[in-house]
């Protein structure tokens, strides 16, 4: 079949399913990290030399890690299909390139995940973490980039985008959307660093930083700095997202679903702050910690999707 830029329901639906499956992968990765099961199997790509290792359905650490590996393999297969489908059927070059970028990131993510296991015992002088443990940081950040690329593909394939019925927002709304995306991405970078440096309880009280009600921590080290920066960024993002949501809601040129997304964004950020508080109050429970990671990825993805939707005109003009 020839390449076209028309709306393709089947391809759009498959891309949407792909963007949903990625959160299964994120959830399993977050759960694996939360229970400290990243080294449940010391080998890779197989688990104890098998695709069906003994005990993975009965032992929680093995279940978490092997499920994460299996879901990653499924994600890889899904991304191959998506990239090839886009290449064969989509006329727009920028969308075809996004498909190949998504595939490239999945491959790199798999390799980083594997090296994280295989190089776990390689010590790095002057650091508390081994080289394998350090690889968790780029692994976590690249996952967020991958999620955003998938959402860009979903938005680009949507009927509203293809038929140009999303609306034309003001420059202020477009700029505020990208500021929110940038701030959220920086926040997730801080969160990944904090999480893998075991700084989630470096400040054990909330909303204050000391039991006496102080705004600033009583003592500082790199873990406290990471944790405090995460809290400060959360406050900044809360304000900026509220401002963005206000102007997005008032943007009458946009279609109702995009304007209504302003309420969703506020709800997602509020939910993140609540889960962050619960992590402190529950002593970093697995459920709250895992939920916080999943909701953080979803908040970035939805914000990016909304911001990307408001950029249709400039993207289609610049990238035919």
Distances, alpha carbon 207 to alpha carbons 19, 282, 288, in Å: 34, 14, 17
For 189: left if phi > 0, alpha if psi spans -120 to 50, otherwise beta; the answer is alpha
CB contact at 8 A, 86 and 14: no
Predicted confidence at residue 126, as pLDDT, reads 75
- Report the pLDDT value the prediction gives residue 280, as an integer from 0 to 100: 95
pLDDT, position 124: 84
Q: What is the pLDDT of residues 45-101, one digit of tens each?
A: 999 999 999 999 999 999 999 999 999 999 999 999 999 999 999 999 999 999 999
| pLDDT surpasses 80 at 30 | yes
Sequence-distant (≥ 6) Cβ neighbours of residue 169 within 8 angstroms: 248, 251, 253, 254, 310
What pLDDT does residue 318 have? 63
Report the alpha-carbon distance of residue 147 to residue 142 in Å, rounded.
9
The partner residues of 4 in beta bridges, in order of sequence, read 90
Query: Taking the model in full, what pTM does it have?
Result: 0.93
Q: Quick check: 127 pLDDT over 70?
A: yes
CA dihedral 49, 54, 56, 60 (to 10 degrees): -120
The mean pLDDT value for 95-112 works out to 96
Domain-ending residue, one of 163, 179, 212: 163
Query: Same domain for 188 and 228?
Result: yes
Same domain, 213 and 270: yes
- Whether residues 154 and 44 fall in one domain: yes
Mean pLDDT of 229-238: 96
Mark whether 103 and 207 lie in a shared domain. Answer: no
Min mean pLDDT across 86-100, 102-116, 124-138 is at 124-138
Give the residue, 292 or 319, on which the prediction is more confident: 292
Count of alpha carbons within 13 angstroms of residue 62, beta-carbon side: 16
Pair 237, 267 in one domain:
yes
DSSP letters spanning 71-116: HHHHHHHHHHHHHHHHHHHB--HHHHHHHHHHHHHHHHHHHHHHHH
Task: Write down which residue in 163, 187, 219 finishes a domain.
Answer: 163
pLDDT of residue 264: 97
181 plus 216 within the same structural domain: yes
pLDDT digits (tens, 9 = 90+) for 158-203: 999 999 999 989 999 999 999 999 999 999 999 999 988 889 999 9
The pLDDT of residue 320 is 54
What's the mean pLDDT when you consider all of the chain? 93
Q: Which residue has the higher pLDDT, 245 or 2?
A: 245
Q: Are residues 1 and 91 located together in one domain of the fold?
A: yes
Mean pLDDT in residue range 211-238: 94
Q: Is the pLDDT of residue 2 over 90?
A: no
pLDDT at 239 over 70: yes
Are both 125 and 48 inside the same structural domain?
yes
> Which of 144, 163, 182 is a domain's end point?
163
**Percent of residues, the chain, with pLDDT higher than 70:** 99
**208 and 105 in a common domain:** no
Indicate if the pLDDT at residue 317 is higher than 80: no
Q: Could you tell me if 94 and 117 lie in one domain?
A: yes
**Residue 5 — pLDDT band, cuts 50, 70, 90?**
confident
Which pLDDT does position 315 carry in this prediction? 85
Q: Are residues 131 and 185 in the same domain?
A: no
Count of domains forming the chain = 2
Once rounded to an integer, what is the mean pLDDT over residues 207-227?
93
- What is the span of the domain harbouring residue 81? 1-163
Does one domain contain both 171 and 314? yes
Whether 70 and 44 have beta carbons less than 8 Å apart is answered as: no
Q: What's the pLDDT at 282?
A: 95
- Asked if the model's pLDDT at residue 226 lies above 90, the reply is yes
Helices (H), ranges, the chain? 9-34, 60-89, 93-118, 131-134, 136-157, 159-162, 171-196, 222-250, 256-281, 286-309, 312-318
Q: What is the arithmetic mean of pLDDT over 23-48? A: 93
Residue 148, pLDDT score? 96
* pLDDT of 125: 82
């Amino acid at each position: 079949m020839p390449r076209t830029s028309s709306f393709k329901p089947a391809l759009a639906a498959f891309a949407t399913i792909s963007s949903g499956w990625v959160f299964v992968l994120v959830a399993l990765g977050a759960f694996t990290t939360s229970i400290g099961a990243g080294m449940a199997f010391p080998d890779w790509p197989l688990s104890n030399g098998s695709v069906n290792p003994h005990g993975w359905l009965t032992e929680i650490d093995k279940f978490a890690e092997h499920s994460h590996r299996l879901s990653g393999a499924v994600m890889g297969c899904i991304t191959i299909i998506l990239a090839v489908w886009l290449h064969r059927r989509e006329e727009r070059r920028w969308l075809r390139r996004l498909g190949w970028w998504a595939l490239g990131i999945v491959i790199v993510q798999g390799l980083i995940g594997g090296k994280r296991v295989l190089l776990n015992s390689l010590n790095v002088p002057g650091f508390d973490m081994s080289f394998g443990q350090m690889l968790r940081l780029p692994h976590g950040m690249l996952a967020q980039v991958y999620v955003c690329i998938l959402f860009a593909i979903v938005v680009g394939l949507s009927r509203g985008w293809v038929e140009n019925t999303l609306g034309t927002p003001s420059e202020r709304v477009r700029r505020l959307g990208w500021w929110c995306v940038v701030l959220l991405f920086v926040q997730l970078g801080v969160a990944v660093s904090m999480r893998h440096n075991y700084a989630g309880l470096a400040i054990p009280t909330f909303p204050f930083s000391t039991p006496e009600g102080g705004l600033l921590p009583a003592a500082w080290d790199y873990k406290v700095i990471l944790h405090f920066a995460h809290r400060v960024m959360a406050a900044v993002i809360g304000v900026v997202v509220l401002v963005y949501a206000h102007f997005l809601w008032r943007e009458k040129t946009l279609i109702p679903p995009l304007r209504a997304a302003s309420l969703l964004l506020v709800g997602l950020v509020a939910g993140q702050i609540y889960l962050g508080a619960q992590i402190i109050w529950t002593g970093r429970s697995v459920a709250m910690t895992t939920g916080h990671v999943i909701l953080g990825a979803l908040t970035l993805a939805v914000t990016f999707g909304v911001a990307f939707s408001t950029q249709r005109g400039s993207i289609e003009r610049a990238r035919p």
